[in-house]
Amino acid sequence: MSNWDTTFPPLLRKLHQLEFDYDDGDGYDFEPYQSFFPAEENASWFKAWTGNAAIDGSQFRVFGQDGTGGYAAFWLVLPDQPIEKQPVVFLGSEGEKGVVALNLDEYLWLLADGVGPYEAVAYPSPDSKPNAQFTLFAQENSGIAKLSAAEVLARANEAYPSFSEQIDSLCR
């Protein structure tokens, strides 16, 4: 884990300058970080989360959390692809888990539709509440055409239908 980089890609750093307003439960339950966990902290968290001391969670790069301590992360499963092209996942404090976007571009559209990583996993069909600030950000920064939250989630679940089972297999 010596080559571990905690530096965010520029677009994620720019995204996390926006305000993720909780809005008394009607907004995003998300607290953005300014850097990825260091390797040791990442390993400690993943071992505790899974109950498995034999794994280090090195396939995840945590970039934020919800109010209960669940983590949003990139899941590094695509060899030779930059982190921005990796799937975005949520691993909740109560065992919730799921792929919420195929990549950072699609994640921007999920946020634009008013759905954060926690909401994407906790509610099978989260309410769409378009957010003007995040919509403008996605329009200016996403390299893909607009997608609804439902489309982002359907694409993520279609591409990675066995994510939950893969994570469950690591848990003790």
What pLDDT tens digit does each residue of the chain (172 aa) get? 447 899 999 999 999 999 999 888 788 999 999 999 999 999 999 999 999 999 999 999 999 999 999 999 999 999 999 999 999 999 999 999 999 999 999 999 999 999 999 999 998 788 789 999 999 999 999 999 999 999 999 999 999 999 999 999 999 8
Has residue 2 been placed in a domain?
A: no
pLDDT of 4: 87
Q: Is the residue at 116 inside a domain?
A: yes
Closest to 124 measured CA to CA, from 104, 154, 146, 86: 154
HSE on the CB side for 129, CA within 13 Å? 14
**Rounded-to-integer distance, Cα 114 and Cα 171, Å:** 31
Classify residue 106: in a domain, yes or no.
Answer: yes
Dist. CA 88–CA 100, nearest whole Å: 6
* Total of domains in the chain: 1
Residue 17 lies in a domain: yes
Name the residue range of residue 76's domain. 10-165
- 132 within some domain: yes
Q: What is the pTM of this model?
A: 0.95
